[in-house]
Chains A and B, each alone.
Chain A
Amino acid sequence: MELVISGNEAVAYGAMLSRVQVIPAYPISPQTTIVETLADFCARGKLKADFVKVESEHSAMACCLGAASAGARTFTATSAQGLALMHELLHWAAGARLPIVMANVNRAMSAPWTMWCDQSDSLSQRDTGWMQFYCEDNQEVLDTIIMAYRLAEKVLLPCMVCLDGFILSHTYEQVEIPDGAEVDQYLPPFNPPFKLDVDAPHSFNAAFLPDVYMEQRVKIQEAMEEAKKEAKEVDKEFGQLFGRSYGIMEEYQAEDADLLLVTSGTITGTGRVVIDEYREKGEKIGLLKMKMFRPFPMEDIRRVMQKVKKVAVVDRNISFGATGIFAQEIRSALHHHGEGTAVFGFIAGLGGRDVTPATLRSIIEYTKGREYPEGDIAWMGVKP
């Protein structure tokens, strides 16, 4: 079945097809229509789930913590300030090894008030132990929600699926809605190895003394490492069943490229158009779409970038006092491994400013014109 739906509706369809059981959620722009759509699905009996109208995002994630610990498949969605309010519970969810899936509709952080897109909100949660995936279009959003459950429940880590606020969340596209029975085949019912049980009483999340805490952290890191492999597997199997596959990253026109444009989220779609233009002119310029950000695909980054002279990273975020976060992570992955690759870091599109083909052309021209970056950050489109 094909429908013309918004990114937020794609999220809701993904959650419905994943047969989520408990949905605690709190409205925030631009996530709100996810909550509304799921409330409607539940009210009309299309989705048999408990929709919990919590009083805050903090409680939304705490409710997921409780329900997932009891063995239920849980889902929630948020944006920016709401995600920041959840911060404490994000650590709890990962530390408790609960495969909660959450959609984050990327929105810039306040103050000052803003509603529009950038990715600083989710990227600043990078150290919480959540897996993170960034989507390019509405089909990918829907598919990634379903894949997120497969992956999360396999490695027992929570997973965040990110989509650009308004640019995707409120844009309508044609989306293939997978068949429910096929999704059931792909994603079996949630049956975690550890859950609250009166017949086998255990204490969950009890205090760890220094003699055991570190080992618990090692296990989370090991699960992240496992997720790097499993994410590819989960995507491959999805492709076999549904005919769509995304990988953990995508190399576009990248085989022989001297210069690689690195993008995430919706900027990728714009990037493809610009890369095509350059290719038509015979220039060896390609694109790398970053889909999986946590775990960070260090090895794949090295494999792809070591052979490239220049990399132009477009960051729709800023880590104040440092650089764009994707650039930072890529530089750290290449350190000691890709000294020959010059990493140019660009910051563009903060707070919903458009990143147009012209912006990306400027980025490429800037990179072409220099052997090495002049600094760690090059700001794009900033008014004097």
Chain B
Amino acid sequence: MRYERPPEEFLYSGHIACPGCGASLAMRYALQALGKKTMVVIPACCWSTVAGFFPSTSLKVPILHTAFEAAAITAAGVKKGLLARGITDVQVMAWAGDGGTFDIGLQALSGCAERNDDFIYVCYDNEAYMNTGIQRSSATPLMSWTTTTPNYALKETPKKDIMQIMAAHRIPYAATASPAYPEDFLMKMRKAKEIKGLRFIHILSSCPPGWKFPSELSVKISRLAVETKIFPLYEIENGRKYKLTVEPKGLPVSEYLKLQGRFSQLTDKDMESIQENVEEEWQALMQKIGKKSKIKNRSKGA
């Protein structure tokens, strides 16, 4: 299934994102899908600068900047404020990084998810605190280099599974997306737009300076993350119904890892263990997607 990209752009050229920034591409697609009647809420993250310093803006839609840990509830507040004024046709989109989602913003996000507040929450996940200069977050993958997980002290724990956390809240819609797959991305944003309640989109957002790769490889690396099954593209409806939206080729993870300086100190053995880890996660996802559980409930009295 292919989607034509709508011609209208809501991201101005001349914004100050780094060359090859996955998050700028992601914002462009997100707003193309949502259209003019959208308001964007941005907590502290790369996008609080990419959006422009006063008096500039890089978006053609209203922006409300808010505190680091408050993206979700500020967006919920905007929606409630609009409803109080009788405005019902505006989408509110919270747009936060992984730090503002997986770490400091998780409490407010969980609160909104539990109440099923009506807005779209997008996490553009570049797998570390990139705006402050590459410090580890709970979204940083296993054995990745950052300035706070330096060589000889690489990250010891795997990435937090935010999709499972969101699914556990039984929100109406959650999906992963990648700027390397614009048709899939637009389809998911458009689908999200039609749903009421909390919609969560998790984007793996490639970061040339943070991941240490040349900017021209940004889309390729984003694509490899999907093809190696490191970042599967799928959706979850109501926390229960899983669906794979892009069939990956199943390339070896080393093809993804070897292109990035943040993994440059990994040995072949390390890569093998990451490969095993990815396989396990994939199998777990497959089970949720298609296969029926082999465990049968015992009938009464048995």
Q: Is A152 located at the chain interface by the 8 A CB criterion?
A: no
Chain B residues with Cβ below 8 Å from A66 are 41, 64, 66, 73-81
Chain B residues with Cβ below 8 Å from A240 are none
Q: Is B249 located at the chain interface by the 8 A CB criterion?
A: no
A24, A71, A202, A206: which has the most chain B beta carbons within 10 Å?
A206
Please classify how large the interface on chain A is, using the bins under 10, 10 to 19, 20 to 34, 35 or more.
Answer: 35 or more
Check A59/B81 contact, CB under 8 A, given A66-B75, A206-B57, A206-B63: no
Please classify how large the interface on chain B is, using the bins under 10, 10 to 19, 20 to 34, 35 or more.
Answer: 35 or more
Task: Name A54's contact: one of B60, B61, B73, B87 (CB within 8 Å).
Answer: B73
Check A55/B111 contact, CB under 8 A, given A69-B78, A72-B81, A203-B63: yes
Check A205/B85 contact, CB under 8 A, given A55-B111, A62-B77: no
Stretch at the interface among A207-215, A292-300, A351-359: A207-215
Tell whether, in the assembled complex, residue A201 and residue B77 are in contact, meaning their CB atoms are under 8 Å apart. no
Interface code A54-67, partner B: CB below 8 Å = 1, 0 otherwise? 11101100111111
Number of A-B contacts (CB under 8 A): 162
A92–B85 alpha-carbon span in the complex (Å): 22
Check A212/B78 contact, CB under 8 A, given A55-B107, A92-B66, A92-B67: no
Chain B residues with Cβ below 8 Å from A22 are 77, 80-81, 84
Chain A residues with Cβ below 8 Å from B107 are 55-56, 59
Task: Name B65's contact: one of A53, A55, A73, A205 (CB within 8 Å).
Answer: A205
Q: Is B150 located at the chain interface by the 8 A CB criterion?
A: no
Q: Is A274 located at the chain interface by the 8 A CB criterion?
A: no
Q: Can you name the residue of chain B whose Cβ is closest to the Cβ of A89?
A: B67
Q: Is A33 located at the chain interface by the 8 A CB criterion?
A: no
Q: Is A42 located at the chain interface by the 8 A CB criterion?
A: no
Interface set, chain B 237-280, CB cutoff 8 A to A: none
A197–B110 alpha-carbon span in the complex (Å): 27
How many Å from the CB of B31 to the closest CB on chain A?
A: 11
Tell whether, in the assembled complex, residue A88 and residue B84 are in contact, meaning their CB atoms are under 8 Å apart. no
Tell whether, in the assembled complex, residue B80 and residue A88 are in contact, meaning their CB atoms are under 8 Å apart. no
How many Å from the CB of A182 to the closest CB on chain B?
A: 23
A283–B66 alpha-carbon span in the complex (Å): 56
Q: Is A322 located at the chain interface by the 8 A CB criterion?
A: no
How many Å from the CB of A24 to the closest CB on chain B?
A: 7
Q: Is B115 located at the chain interface by the 8 A CB criterion?
A: yes
Q: Can you name the residue of chain A whose Cβ is closest to the Cβ of B37?
A: A198
Show the binding face of A for B, using Cβ within 8 Å: 21-22, 24, 49-50, 52-56, 58-59, 62-74, 88-89, 92, 196-198, 201-209, 212
